[in-house]
Chains A and B, each alone.
Chain A
Amino acid sequence: MILASTLTTNLAILVLAGFIGFVVISKVPNTLHTPLMSGTNAIHGIVLLGGLLLLGLANLGGLSKFLLVIAVTFGTINIVGGFLVTDRMLEMFKSKPKPPPASGEEGAAGEGKGEERS
C-alpha cells in the first residue's frame, strides 16, 4: 500500500512535470533555442543530487566511492558550466533592446575579442 503510494505519487509528479515542461518550453522562441538547450542542460545536472545522496550512505566500497566522486564531478561540470555559459549567451541577447543602430559606439561595447573582427 505504502509502496503504491510512493510510486504513484512520484509518477503523478512525473506526468505533471512533463505537461508543465511542454507548456513552458513551447513558448520559447526559436531565437533562444541554444540558450534553452544549454540552460536545460544545466538543469539536468541535478543528477548531482543522486551522487550526493548515495555518498551519504555508510558502507560504500572503494569502487563505489570512486564512481560517485566521478559522478559528482560530472554533475558539477554540468551544472556550473551549463549555467555560466547560458548566462554568457543570454547577456549577449540582452545587450541590445536599443532602437536600430544609429550610434557607432555600440559595436565597441560588445567587443571582447578584437582579433575576431577584421
Chain B
Amino acid sequence: MTVTTPLASSFLQSESFIYVLYIVAFALFIQGLRGLSGPRTAVRGNRIAAVGMAIAIVATLLQRSEGNWGLIALGIALGTAVGVPAARNVKMTAMPQMVALFNGVGGGAVALISWVEFRHYGSTYGSRKVGLPVGEIVHRLGGGPNVLGVLTLHADVGGPPTYVAIFSVFAAIVGSVSFWGSNIAFGKLQEILPGRPITLGRAQQAVNLLLFVLAFGAGIALVAGTHSELLFIGMLLAAAVLGNMVVLPIGGADMPVVISMLNAFTGLSAAATGIALNNPALIVAGMIVGASGSILTNLMAQAMNRSIPAIVAGGFGGGGVVEGAEGAGEHAGSVKSTSAADAAIQLAYASRVVVVPGYGMAVAQAQHAVREMAKELEKRGVEVHYAIHPVAGRMPGHMNVLLAEADVPYDQLEEMEEANSEFGRTDVSLVIGANDVTNPAAKNTPSSPIYGMPILEVSDSQSVIVIKRSMNPGFAGIENELYYEPKTSMLFGDAKSAVSEITAELAQL
C-alpha cells in the first residue's frame, strides 16, 4: 500500500484530491445544465460542462500509474480526428443523425469497457465468498500496489464483489442495445435505411422477448460465476440484435421518442459503469443524462399521446401504413390548389401569419428561405410567428434549431399551447412540410391512430396554406382532413422553392 513517489506527485495522486476533482467536475456538469434553461445562458452552460469534463479527465489521468500512455494518446487523437470535423461540418438539418451517432458511440464505449472488465475480472465473478486477502486479490488482478486508494477498481474488498459484476453486465447489455439501436436510428435518419417501419409482424414481440431473456439470462449466468468469455460475447450479441429489432420497426415520426430513449439508455449504462468502477463522476454524469433522456422520452410520448411501450412495440402498425397510402386518392377532388402568387397576396394582406414548420422544411433545408419570406412580410407590417409542435421533426426541438440557424428571433417561436390560444386571431397559417401534427383527426376522429394526440389547431385560423410536395400522407400514413377543408389551399412543391417563389412574389407586390 505504500506509494513511493515524490511528495508533490503523491499529493496530486492522493485519493482525496482526485475525489475532490471529481466532485468539482460533476458540480460543473450540474451548473452547466442549469444554464440550458435559457438561450442567453446556454452557451456558457455548455462550456462550463465542458470544463467539468476536462477536469474529470485530468483527474482520471492523474490517478493511473501503469503505462499505456501511447494507447491513451492514440485513442484520444483518433476520437478527436473524427469528432471535431463531424461536429464542425454537420448541417443543422442533419442534427438528429449526428446526435444518434454520438449517442451510439457512447453506448458502444460502455459495452466495450464492460467487456474488458469481464476479461480482467470475470474469473472472480461470483467468487467473493472465497474471501482472499486484499493484497492477494490486488495482486491477482494485476492492480499492483494499491496506489489508487479508495478509487481503486474493486481492490479494496475481497475481489470484485457481486454487485460490481451485476452493474458491469447490466452496462454491457444496455450499452450494446444503445449502440446498435442508435446506429439503426442513424441509418434511418440518414436514409441509408428506409424510414418506414421494418417489422417481423406478429413474431416481432416474441422475438424481442426471446432476445431480452437470452441477454439477461446470459448476464445472470455470468454474474453467478460462469467464466466463459464466449457467453459474454453471446450476451453482447443478443443485446445487439435486440437493439436492432427494437429500432427497426419504428417509423420516422416516432424518432424523437427513440432518440431520447436511447440517450437515456446510454446515460444509465454509463451510471452503471460508474458503480462498477466506483467512480463518482461517472455515476453522477450518467444518471443526469439518464434523467434527461427519460424526461424527454416522456414529453415526446405525451406529445404524441402514445405510450412508450406502444412505440417500442412498433410504429403505427406495418400494415396500416400501406393501406393509408393507397387510400390517399379518395378525396382528391375536393382539394383546392393555389399558386405562389395567390399565396403571396393572401399573406401580404394578413395582419398575423403563423408558420407551422415540420420535417418537410428540414428535408428541403427551407429554413433560410422561410426567414427571408418572413422578413419580406415584416417589412409590410405583418406579424409573423412560428408555431412549433414538440414532436415536429425528428428529434426534440429539431425545428427550433433550424429556425435559430436562420436567425429567427427567439421570441417569435411559440410552443404548442401558446400557439393554440392564438390561432383564433391568426389570418393565415402557413403549414410548411408538417402533416400529422396539424391533423384535426387527432381531435375529431376517435378511430384515427393519432386520436388524442395534441395538435396545432391551425384550422382555428381564418385561412390555411399548406406547402407540400404531393398529397402523399405523412410518415404515419394517415389522411389529413385539414387539406379538404374549404379554408385550406394547397401549394404543391418543394418547401424551399415554394417559399422562395412566395418571397419573390411578395417583393413584386
Do these two chains really belong together in a complex?
A: yes
Q: Is B310 an interface residue (CB 8 A)?
A: no
Question: In the complex, which residues 274-291 of chain B have their Cβ closer than 8 Å to any Cβ of chain A?
Answer: 274-275, 277-291
Q: In the complex, what's the smallest C-beta–C-beta distance from A115 to chain B, in angstroms?
A: 10
Q: B43-67 vs A: 1/0 string, CB under 8 Å?
A: 1011101100100110011011110
Q: Select which of A29, A41, A43, A95 is within 8 A of B407 by beta carbon.
A: A95
Closest residue of chain A to B499, judged by CB? A118
Closest residue of chain A to B287, judged by CB? A17
Q: Is the CB of B30 within 8 A of A24?
A: yes
Q: A10-B278, A75-B79 are in contact. Are A89 and B287 (CB under 8 A)?
A: no
Interface centre among A14, A29, A44, A74 (most CB of B within 10 A): A44
Question: In the complex, which residues 14-34 of chain A have their Cβ closer than 8 Å to any Cβ of chain B?
Answer: 14, 17-18, 20-22, 24-34
Q: Is the interface of A mostly helix, strand, loop or mixed?
A: helix
Q: Is the CB of B71 within 8 A of A55?
A: yes
Q: Is the CB of B259 within 8 A of A11?
A: no
Surface stretch bound by A, among B2-10, B210-218, B263-271, B341-349: B263-271
The contact size tier of chain A is 35 or more
User: In whole angstroms, what is the CA distance A83 to B65 when docked?
Assistant: 29
User: In whole angstroms, what is the CA distance A2 to B412 when docked?
Assistant: 57
Which chain B residues border A94 with CB–CB below 8 Å? 39-40, 42-43
Q: Is the CB of A65 within 8 A of B372?
A: no
User: In whole angstroms, what is the CA distance A39 to B497 when docked?
Assistant: 33
Q: In the complex, what's the smallest C-beta–C-beta distance from B371 to chain A, in angstroms?
A: 7
Q: Is the interface of B mostly helix, strand, loop or mixed?
A: helix
Q: A30-B415, A87-B43 are in contact. Are A56 and B64 (CB under 8 A)?
A: yes
Which chain B residues border A31 with CB–CB below 8 Å? 39, 388, 397, 400, 410, 413, 415
Q: Is the CB of A29 within 8 A of B102?
A: no
Q: In the complex, what's the smallest C-beta–C-beta distance from A39 to chain B, in angstroms?
A: 5
Which chain A residues border B45 with CB–CB below 8 Å? 39
Q: Is B92 an interface residue (CB 8 A)?
A: yes
Q: Is the CB of B415 within 8 A of A77?
A: no
Q: Is the CB of B410 within 8 A of A96?
A: yes
Q: Is the CB of B142 within 8 A of A59?
A: yes
Q: In the complex, what's the smallest C-beta–C-beta distance from B386 to chain A, in angstroms?
A: 10
Q: Is the CB of B280 within 8 A of A13?
A: yes
Q: Select which of A21, A34, A47 is within 8 A of B400 by beta carbon.
A: A34
Q: Is B80 an interface residue (CB 8 A)?
A: yes
Which chain B residues border A63 with CB–CB below 8 Å? 119
User: In whole angstroms, what is the CA distance A93 to B407 when docked?
Assistant: 8
Q: In the complex, what's the smallest C-beta–C-beta distance from A79 to chain B, in angstroms?
A: 6
Q: In the complex, what's the smallest C-beta–C-beta distance from B155 to chain A, in angstroms?
A: 10
8 contacts between A and B (CB under 8 A): A27-B34, A36-B396, A55-B75, A80-B83, A82-B102, A92-B401, A93-B410, A110-B406
Residues of A within 8 A of B (CB): 2-3, 6-7, 10-11, 13-14, 17-18, 20-22, 24-61, 63-65, 67-98, 100-101, 104, 106-107, 109-111, 116-118
8 closest residue pairs by CB, A with B? A76-B79, A21-B291, A72-B75, A56-B64, A33-B397, A81-B83, A59-B142, A33-B396
